[in-house]
């Protein structure tokens, strides 16, 4: 139904465009001077057709469900139901009207379901009437304005500008959405678990919180020693550290080689090949780490007499490092190539070899940019999810032994939220609190890194 | 004195060579990882494109099927195939006792009854006759036939019994085991049985999510880029938008999953596990990537184009829409494809919005529950059964194939259509 209406409105838009343009030509034929190109007359009319339709559609989408619900529940208003029960009744009658209801059908619910259907159809038909009459009124108004040959280009362009501006707000809206989705759950979480316990506690057993029967009242003492995030944070930074131990030397050296030594031909082939590593989906790395690297390290360790977990931090961190190599190599390559040639020439003129020039002149000059690229790499490592979920452990051990298994923020979020979630449960909220800390940490890293890189670019441009 | 200098020089040259070698070996290491990686995936995955069939003689006994004389099509549909299916498997070894008959049954997939039924539906004249029918081998025997399953393990550690192996070897010796191209891998939905599991459902899920993502992210991102590059006044608010975009590009993907869960599912009450929600979540993620690419390619259009249009009396909007934007489109499009390729490989946010649910139907619209290719990789990688290992690798090969095609496409658009300004 909505789709038919929508198509009809789009068709109306096109017809009004056509009529607008035609009107412009008739004005032109009376030897009057047009105020804009004929198509602007058409656009003008089409916009006047679209705006009321859009406004009414969105108002309807926002208010229809609430109003219908109010009307249906008004039948039950004096019967002493609790809010939750009313909601349940409403959902039941909605399900019944769609034919998806499986429970016991009481006459009450049946009556509400019928009422629901009739209300919906009333709403639907009144929507059609209102939308169409609004469109006709506004198009008629616009047509009158066109006929008097008033300005059309300026309003059309103003409208387009407004559309462009709204689109650019999408980025801000997304950020607001992220903060919004995280903050309420996080606040609820910290109402139950003190912030101090979360930040300094050393035991993380969210499964313990799950045993609770949902009908019991929240008992804060139950959660002491359950949501201590220290092992998680430690594991996250530890795995990121291992990853950077792999990624920094290899990435940096290959960046330097590509920028300073490699011939154009080698560069032409090696650079895109290395960048393939960045294009491989992380779940593929995770599979590789879990199935190949983990067991390989375990066997290697056993043959050397070491006890290695099959889900060691080393396997996850190492594979993550491979994933980050291209980020560091191409960013540092860019940074090094943008160091001015005069610095190199000066150094060569003093008799320095190429490596001495790189180590003593170019590297210090490019250092801020390189640090920026490394920080971006760290932020990647901290936010990486699939490798850790698949290759590292899920139990949070507080350890500094790379051969044991640890867990990270991202892995815990996935473990908690996979499957069905009950909002309002401290365990679910804990995932959002972890998400919040992840967001904040990576945000700080990103801001610092982007600022450093930007400052550096400005210096040499 | 002179000798000292020469020694020093030699030392410096050696250091130079060493440094160069470090660089070279770093590149070599990176490429080595890539090679191992691809080799490993292909060597474990290629066998999944073959499927093992057992050729079993089936007697279509009308009595066992509970069929009357001259059955109609409906009768054939409703007939009981389980007994003849069971019987034809048991007949492989006439001396089998009851336990052994059970083991014989487990040599083929639980789908064998349907396979026999389809055979008869295709050719109703078979009633009362015997015909050799192709039955899907169980995933364990499939692995044995492909040589991926260690036969020398003690029997109690194997999922295939000695008896099953004996019968299987007899079949192999008689040429009654055949390996064919595995079409069902591409046409079946996910299944708990490795031999029947396919990627059709997750493939459709991926396609739907990417389409939703494209339909939302592309227009919004292009419009935003046009505004920021061509119209935005230089003020604090514009700077704020820019900082936001750059930060969003580096926010971990799982945070977008939390956004999808907390806003799209909890507040807007959109249906869980659907490509619709997945696509919206992915579109928020790809938005910054496309905006950045579109801005870069708008920036690359030289100012002389704009000045010429303005000088001819075009308004700023006309200049932008008629000249700047069309010229920047190749760059924008290739950036969009690269962004979509990233979105196609994304897993974590989709897991959080519930696209890991077990889906054994092929979704017909973005509103049906579905998985996606990377999530399918995750689901199969977590299964213990050996048969899934090669499926995962094969699924990875399909996914990588798509990513390569998309990236090549982006390259081609960029090289063929982009105008070089010099």
Tens place of pLDDT for every residue, chain A, 461 residues?
678 888 888 998 899 899 888 888 888 888 778 888 888 888 988 998 888 888 988 888 888 888 888 887 777 766 767 777 777 777 777 777 777 666 677 777 777 788 888 888 888 888 889 988 999 999 888 888 888 877 888 889 999 999 999 999 998 999 999 998 899 889 988 888 888 888 888 888 776 665 444 445 555 566 667 788 888 899 999 999 999 999 999 999 999 999 999 999 988 888 889 988 888 999 999 999 988 888 888 888 888 888 888 788 899 999 999 999 999 999 899 889 988 999 999 999 999 999 999 999 999 989 888 998 899 899 999 999 999 988 887 777 777 788 888 888 999 999 888 866 667 777 888 889 999 999 999 999 988 888 888 887 777 76
Residue whose C-alpha is closest to residue A410's, from A391, A386, A380, A430: A386
Cβ(A138)–Cβ(A71) below 8 Å: no
Cβ(A418)–Cβ(B348) below 8 Å: no
For chain B, domain boundaries:
47-182, 200-417
Mutate to test the interface with A, among B252, B315, B400 (most CBs of A within 10 A): B252
Contact A167 B246 (CB under 8 A): no
The C-alpha of B355 sits at a distance from chain A's nearest C-alpha, in angstroms, of 9
Output the furthest CA–CA distance in chain A (Å, rounded).
98
Q: How many CB atoms lie within 10 A of CB A142?
A: 22
**Which residue among B13, B27, B29 places its CB closest to the CB of A353?**
B13
The interface predicted TM-score of the complex, written ipTM, equals 0.88
| Three-state SS at B389 | helix
Task: List C-alpha distances in Å: A333 to A162, A367, A461.
Answer: 40, 12, 16
Mutate to test the interface with A, among B332, B348, B414 (most CBs of A within 10 A): B348
- Considering only CB atoms, which chain B residues are within 8 Å of A262? 27
Integer Cα distance of A326 and A331 in angstroms:
8
Does the CB of A322 have a partner CB in chain B at under 8 Å? yes
End-to-end CA distance of chain B: 55
Contact B224 A167 (CB under 8 A): yes
- Considering only CB atoms, which chain A residues are within 8 Å of B411? none
CATH of B200-417 among 3.50.50.60, 1.10.3720.10, 1.20.120.1200, 3.40.50.880: 1.10.3720.10
Does the CB of A279 have a partner CB in chain B at under 8 Å? yes
Q: Which phi and psi (to 5°) does residue B177 adopt?
A: -120, 130
**Which residue among A181, A376, A418 places its CB closest to the CB of B258?**
A181
Q: How many CB atoms lie within 10 A of CB B116?
A: 23
Does the CB of A299 have a partner CB in chain B at under 8 Å? no
Quick one: tokens of B75? 């009768």
Domains of chain A: 2-151 (no CATH), 230-460 (1.10.3720.10)
The C-alpha of B66 sits at a distance from chain A's nearest C-alpha, in angstroms, of 35
The C-alpha of A412 sits at a distance from chain B's nearest C-alpha, in angstroms, of 11
Does the CB of A163 have a partner CB in chain B at under 8 Å? yes
Q: Strand B50-59 relative to strand B177-181: parallel, antiparallel, unpaired?
A: antiparallel
- Considering only CB atoms, which chain B residues are within 8 Å of A286? 378, 381
């Amino acid at each position: 139904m909505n789709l038919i209406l929508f198509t009809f409105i789009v068709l109306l838009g096109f017809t009004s465009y056509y009529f607008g343009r035609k009107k412009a030509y008739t004005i032109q034929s009376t030897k009057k001077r047009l105020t804009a190109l004929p198509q602007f007359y058409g656009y003008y009319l089409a916009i006047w057709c679209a705006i009321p339709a859009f406004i009414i559609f969105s108002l309807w989408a926002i208010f229809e469900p609430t109003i219908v619900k109010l009307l249906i529940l008004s039948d039950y208003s004096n019967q002493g139901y609790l809010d939750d029960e009313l909601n349940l009744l409403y959902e039941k009658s909605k399900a019944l009207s769609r034919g998806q209801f499986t429970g016991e059908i009481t006459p009450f619910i049946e009556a509400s379901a019928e009422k629901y259907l009739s209300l919906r159809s009333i709403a639907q038909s009144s929507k059609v009437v209102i939308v169409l009459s609004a469109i006709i009124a506004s198009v008629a108004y616009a047509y009158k304005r066109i006929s008097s040959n008033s300005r059309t280009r300026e309003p059309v362009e103003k409208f387009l500008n407004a559309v462009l501006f709204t689109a650019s707000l999408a980025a801000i809206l997304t950020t607001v959405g992220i903060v919004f989705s995280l903050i309420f759950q996080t606040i609820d979480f910290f109402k139950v678990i003190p912030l101090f316990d979360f930040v300094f506690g050393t035991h993380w057993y969210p499964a313990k919180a799950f045993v609770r029967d949902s009908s019991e009242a929240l008992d804060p003492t139950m959660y002491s020693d359950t949501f201590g995030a220290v092992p998680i944070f430690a594991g996250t930074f530890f795995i990121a550290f291992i990853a950077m131990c792999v990624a920094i030397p290899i990435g940096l050296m290959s960046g330097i080689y590509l920028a300073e030594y490699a011939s154009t031909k080698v560069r032409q082939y090696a650079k895109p090949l290395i960048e393939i590593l960045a294009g491989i989906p992380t779940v593929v790395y995770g599979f590789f780490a879990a199935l190949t690297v983990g067991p390989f390290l375990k066997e290697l360790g056993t043959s050397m007499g070491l006890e290695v977990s099959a889900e060691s931090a080393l396997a996850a961190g190492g594979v993550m490092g491979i994933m980050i190599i291209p980020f560091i190599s191409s960013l540092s390559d860019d940074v090094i190539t943008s160091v001015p040639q005069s610095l190199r020439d000066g150094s060569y003129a003093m008799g320095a070899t190429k490596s001495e020039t790189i180590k003593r002149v170019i590297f210090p000059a490019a250092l801020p940019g390189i640090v920026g690229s490394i920080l971006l790499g760290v932020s990647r490592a901290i936010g990486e999810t699939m490798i850790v979920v698949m290759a590292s452990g899920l139990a949070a051990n507080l350890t500094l032994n790379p051969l044991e298994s640890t867990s990270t923020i991202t892995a815990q979020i996935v473990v908690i939220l996979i499957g069905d979630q009950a909002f309002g449960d401290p365990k679910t909220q804990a995932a959002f609190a972890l998400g919040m800390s992840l967001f904040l940490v990576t945000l700080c890293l990103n801001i610092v890194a982007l600022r450093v890189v930007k400052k550096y670019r400005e210096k040499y441009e | 004195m002179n000798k000292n200098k020469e020694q020093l020089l030699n030392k410096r040259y050696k250091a130079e060579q060493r440094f160069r070698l470090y660089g070279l070996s770093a590149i070599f290491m990176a490429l080595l990882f890539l090679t191992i990686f691809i080799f490993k995936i292909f060597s474990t995955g290629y066998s999944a494109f073959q499927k093992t069939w057992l050729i079993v003689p089936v007697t279509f006994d009308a009595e066992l099927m509970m069929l009357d004389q001259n059955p109609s099509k409906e009768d054939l549909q409703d007939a009981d195939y389980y007994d003849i299916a069971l019987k034809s498997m048991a007949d492989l070894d006439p001396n089998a006792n009851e336990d052994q008959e059970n083991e014989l049954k487990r040599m083929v997939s639980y789908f064998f009854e349907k396979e026999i039924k389809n055979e008869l539906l295709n050719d109703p004249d078979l009633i009362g006759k015997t015909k050799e029918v192709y039955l899907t081998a169980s995933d364990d025997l499939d692995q044995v036939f492909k040589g991926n399953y260690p036969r020398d393990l003690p029997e109690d550690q194997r999922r295939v019994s000695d008896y099953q192996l004996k019968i299987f070897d007899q079949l192999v010796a008689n040429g009654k085991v055949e390996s064919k191209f595995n079409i069902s891998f591409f046409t079946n939905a996910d299944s708990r049985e490795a031999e029947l599991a396919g990627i059709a459902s997750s493939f459709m899920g991926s396609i739907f999510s990417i389409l939703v993502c494209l339909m939302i992210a592309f227009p919004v991102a292009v419009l935003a880029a046009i505004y920021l590059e061509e119209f935005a006044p230089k003020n604090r608010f514009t700077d704020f938008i820019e900082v936001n975009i750059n930060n969003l590009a580096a926010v971990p993907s799982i945070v977008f999953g939390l956004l999808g869960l907390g806003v799209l599912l909890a507040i807007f009450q959109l249906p869980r596990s659907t490509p619709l929600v997945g696509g919206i979540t992915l579109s928020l993620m790809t938005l910054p990537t496309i905006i950045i690419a579109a801005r870069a390619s708008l920036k690359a259009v030289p100012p002389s184009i704009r000045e010429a249009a303005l000088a001819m009396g075009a308004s700023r909007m006309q200049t932008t829409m008629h000249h700047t934007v069309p010229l920047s489109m190749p760059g924008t499009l290739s950036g969009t494809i690269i962004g979509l390729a990233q979105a196609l490989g994304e897993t974590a946010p989709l897991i959080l919005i519930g696209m890991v649910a077990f889906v054994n139907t092929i979704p017909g619209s973005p509103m049906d529950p579905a998985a996606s290719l990377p999530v399918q990789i995750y689901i199969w990688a977590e299964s213990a059964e050996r048969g899934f290992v090669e499926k995962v690798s094969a699924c990875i090969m399909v996914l990588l194939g798509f990513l390569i095609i998309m990236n090549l496409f982006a390259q081609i658009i960029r090289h063929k259509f982009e105008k070089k300004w010099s």
